[in-house]
Structure 1
């Protein structure tokens, strides 16, 4: 029997005299040697590619469901729910918090159940938030706390990312991990953009830069929920028929959780808050940010004025998702740490540019309260926007193209950083193995196998901690100590800029600063 494993970046193969069976019941692959060039070219690459494609599809749906509240929350008032801005910001933050916490058990689930098997389970779990969403939005009497509970279950979609990335990490050789993980993550990240792009159209709102007009029949948010529930069933069946489990990916939870003792796990988690946390947090907050600062529409029956969030909210997630594989490719070519430092430099510059555009905005008068809205609803045809509101909206519309352009730059650099940081993780653990063992020895083979397992576990842990940024960013935009929305937005971006400076310093000090003597042997320059 052949004793073959693939646990990470560069492990070698320990082969016995007899040929291995490629599969056993349940689509398990026993012989998997991606670092063997001949095996990779003749057998491994097509299998890895097929698993990558369906992994991307399932993860894409996960992200869509995870962020479904980011854009639907802005439509809740139009559907008759009297929630405040503070409640809406908290509602879009809840799935991000739950999704980040679930990433640890989701990562541990891949070696426990198999990548294919867990993809089936995680895809089917998306039926819980989608069906719950369909129920809640069709009942105007649904209390806010029920919305919070249902929004929390959308975190199932956030957990999908960690298990998907950990699974794909096992399939690819070291020199292709950056690009493969970048594509896998980008496909998932695009789910954020597409849900924000298509949901307004699906539910009967205006969208696609105004080419689609709002439906005369009103907003029907449940339509989006039914579509994604159906797609979740498709993803479950696709995993059953087209994906595989790897025997070599087996490990026990204690072995995986040992990465919590590694200092590098926590350093990379800190950096990933800056990259992925920014991506997912800004994606969740962008629709409401545009609505609060650039748009006024007290009732759906009244034509709004300003910039409609539904036309542009998806662009940030789109460019961030497309930039992620570029970050992985650049990291493969020039080194993950170098590209990560460039990404943080770009994020610092672009957030400062966003702050400059915010300084040019005019503060909008407060939106009508519940009593005023009720009075307007008695005779919508006679309503006219106050002159102060019209002047402020007109002034802000002139600034919006510059605000949007600067904000999109933040997304671009966060996407590049997402790709480069995920390239760094397996490279760091591989370097530990190479440093501790001699070339061509059995000890190195074992070390590479062990460190490969740790790399996949670390991907989940780091992804979990990084996703916490998706909760913190919407909460920071809704700063409870600032009553005026524009001032809260400015304060938030100052905080984010300072954090990116700290991330850049850490990246340089730990992974790029050249050392001498014994310290050089312990460094990670070149990862």
Structure 2
């Protein structure tokens, strides 16, 4: 007989039930959640690779147009995280994971058709990029779902693994693009898309066969409204703009920045595309792996401390980029290219660590807040789960908008000055602000995290 895919009475804090089989169930769902989210991230960042296959003389799109395409995909993926956060509560984690993987086949096939027929107006490329943004929404539903499966003591590790495995979808699609450029040249981009049609089918099949739906209190509209009235939602979202916004924004932009820099150094478009593809995947790969360790470090020494250290390092990384761009101007020497790569890699690694630590902070904040409730243990657990799940979605959406800002600021800087100098200085200034907020709220006064009385009642509904 086929097993039921709906679990009732799930309580990961019950150590006896956890050791008797609950851990195995949670890990199985984590594995397939990571697989589906991984492919979703790859589709979301598909255009960061496609622009390397699009010479301006053939597709009639300049650097500003390509940054706008990246910003469009990032924007849609970020905004969709809000409804996707509630989707698992409405439809079930297994059911939604299956559906969200299947629907991504549409924009992947549309990308094949569009790139095979160059010369279309810009709005068609923007529309197709917007459809790939559906893959960005997968993150919120996946994280909310996994948050419900794991106990408080393992949430940093579990959320870090889930998010890190998903984030690796960014360098994965860039590696596939590099392989296609190396083997088939930069005129056959549809092979990249063909790989991901197969991957989406496999992810959907795995989710249908191995994942489960949980019949427990989760994120709903009441929880979302309550979370929107809680000040820590907005503070954490600000921090996530700096961490995840940097990761996804630079993931989309890094290849283009490298390509422009190589061309300004004297290479032709084909050489610049190949050399950019050879390097572009390194930053997102290291950032994705670092996210897992960010969650682990936060489990051990606290999310606020790890986040503060991450922002301190990101200030240094942005400083390297800003000073190099200021000195080099439009003439990109070999030394300047090396410093650009060092600065970006530093930003990727530290933003990855910050991603993991910020998401560890969310369940910790609302677990602490639940202690001030005059209620029984189950009500407090329901409150903590619902609020942390809602904030995961809200922070994920707002944080993703940081990626939009990065691409738009880079676009404006290149159009105005021909370089990214102004953009790099702006990024560094934001990291200083984020570090100051982290120190003031979550490091200097860590015990000030309490529940706001007016937010509690809706979350119980």
| 2:228 paired with 1:291 | no
- Of residues 304, 315, 324 in structure 2, which corresponds to 1:337? 304
Distance of aligned partners of 1:514 and 1:270 in 2 relative to their CA distance in 1, 3 Å threshold = closer
Counterpart for residue 430 of structure 2: 499
Contact 2:261 2:337 in 1 (8 A): no
- Cα shift at 1:299: 5.5
| 2:7 paired with 1:76 | no
Contact 1:306 1:397 in 2 (8 A): no
Distance 2:377 2:347 in 1: 41
Distance 2:179 2:449 in 1: 57
- Of residues 344, 350, 371 in structure 2, which corresponds to 1:413? 350
Distance 1:161 1:261 in 2: 23
Contact 1:336 1:421 in 2 (8 A): yes
Distance 1:47 1:271 in 2: 32
Distance 2:273 2:154 in 1: 46
Counterpart for residue 146 of structure 1: 124
Distance 1:28 1:144 in 2: 45
Distance 1:221 1:291 in 2: 17
Distance 1:153 1:459 in 2: 23
Contact 2:160 2:292 in 1 (8 A): yes
SS at match of 1:435: coil
- Cα shift at 1:260: 1.0
Q: CA RMSD in A?
A: 2.3
Counterpart for residue 228 of structure 1: 196
Distance of aligned partners of 1:191 and 1:82 in 2 relative to their CA distance in 1, 3 Å threshold = same
Counterpart for residue 455 of structure 2: none
Give the TM-score, by structure 2 length. 0.92
Distance of aligned partners of 1:165 and 1:189 in 2 relative to their CA distance in 1, 3 Å threshold = same
Q: In the comparison of the two structures, how many residue pairs are matched?
A: 450
Counterpart for residue 361 of structure 1: 328
Counterparts in 2 of 1:412-491, with a 5 A limit?
412-437=349-374, 443-479=376-412, 482-486=415-419, 489-491=420-422
- Cα shift at 1:262: 1.0
Structure holding more helix per residue = 2
Distance 1:267 1:278 in 2: 17
SS at match of 1:140: coil
Counterpart for residue 247 of structure 2: 279
Distance 1:499 1:355 in 2: 13
Distance of aligned partners of 1:480 and 1:317 in 2 relative to their CA distance in 1, 3 Å threshold = closer
Distance 2:121 2:427 in 1: 33
- Cα shift at 1:485: 2.4
SS at match of 1:478: helix
- Cα shift at 1:497: 0.7
| 2:224 paired with 1:256 | yes
| 2:45 paired with 1:67 | yes
- Cα shift at 1:521: 7.7
Contact 1:112 1:250 in 2 (8 A): no
- Cα shift at 1:443: 2.5
Counterpart for residue 53 of structure 1: 31
C-alpha deviations, 1:174-228, integer Å up to 9, x for none?
00000000000000100001111111322xx23xxxxxxx646x52111111221
Runs of 4+ in 1 over 6 A off after TM superposition: none
SS at match of 1:34: coil
- Cα shift at 1:259: 1.0
Distance of aligned partners of 1:307 and 1:490 in 2 relative to their CA distance in 1, 3 Å threshold = farther
Unmatched 5+ residue regions in structure 1?
A: 1-22, 207-213, 365-392
Distance 1:87 1:306 in 2: 17
Distance 1:55 1:481 in 2: 38
- Cα shift at 1:143: 2.3
Contact 1:89 1:478 in 2 (8 A): yes
Unmatched 5+ residue regions in structure 2?
A: 453-461
Give the TM-score, by structure 1 length. 0.81
SS at match of 1:29: strand
